[in-house]
Amino acid sequence: MEEGIKRNGLPKEAVEPMDQPSAGYTSDDSRSATPSQVAKRPRRTMVYIDGFNLYYGMREKFGRKYHWLDLMKLSQRLLKDDQRLVRVKYFSARIRDDAEAASRQAIYLNALRSTGVEVILGRFQEKTITCKNCNRAWRSYEEKESDVNFCVTLLDDAHSHAFDTALLLTGDSDMSPALRLAKKQQPSSRLISIFPPERFSEELRLVADAAFHLSGTLLRQSQLPDRVVSEGKVYSRPYHWA
């Protein structure tokens, strides 16, 4: 698909074309503001990022060159003029079965935290896999909790009216029930599905108020500097991600 199509008032470099989203976001607040105050106030926007869904989608389409992604910058670029970024929440789990990959991940998570991203971690659970044909067994690891953390956090924020608009960066259809319940808890909110490269869910598209694919252009424009310096510590882009 050709990049550079303007959708839903977003910067034209931000999205790849899909179907036409709903009309622009409507301003509203939870409970206390008067109509005139609501109309003038920027919409509080929170961004929720499914870390592994994004990681593997980028790797399938672009290799490793965009893994050093500045999620705060990316989120700012996705905002409309009438929106104010409240928080960026990144959901992942610590890698256990690969020491070098775990080291790269730790560097990246620290770099993200230094920019203000809230990192919420699940875990990898050890399991034994047995071959049905040869009966050989080996140890593997299965990601746990990060998708549950994503859904629970979204629902908690919706229940407390913490946002007016939620940008949900995932292509995992298992998130759909959480989106439906979040919309029920906060009917005035706008839930926008943003699909990582090579990821798509028709169910998420139908549940959300609007949906689009994240473009390679925006990923390229939203990279962290090669060296991130924070409180005397330096986090350097892993050579493996060049």
d(CA 104, CA 166): 29
d(CA 145, CA 109): 17
Q: Does pLDDT of 97 surpass 90?
A: no
Pairwise pLDDT comparison (16 vs 175), residue with the higher score: 175
The pLDDT of residue 144 is 54
d(CA 90, CA 119): 5
Averaged pLDDT, 151-160 = 97
> What dotted CATH number matches 42-241?
3.40.50.1010
d(CA 237, CA 182): 36
Q: Does pLDDT of 133 surpass 60?
A: yes
Q: Does pLDDT of 131 surpass 90?
A: no
The pLDDT of residue 242 is 77
Q: What confidence tens digit (pLDDT) does each residue in 16-26 have? A: 545 433 333 33
The pLDDT of residue 145 is 74
CA–centroid distance for 86 within its chain:
14
Strands 165-169 and 210-214: unpaired
Taking CB atoms within 8 Å and a gap of at least 24, the contacts of 176-181 are 176/201, 176/203, 176/204, 176/207, 177/151, 178/150, 178/151, 178/152, 178/154, 179/154, 179/204, 179/207, 179/208, 180/207, 181/155
Residue 59 Ramachandran class (φ > 0 left, ψ -120 to 50 alpha, else beta): alpha
CB atoms within 10 A of CB 75: 23
Domain boundaries, the chain: 42-241
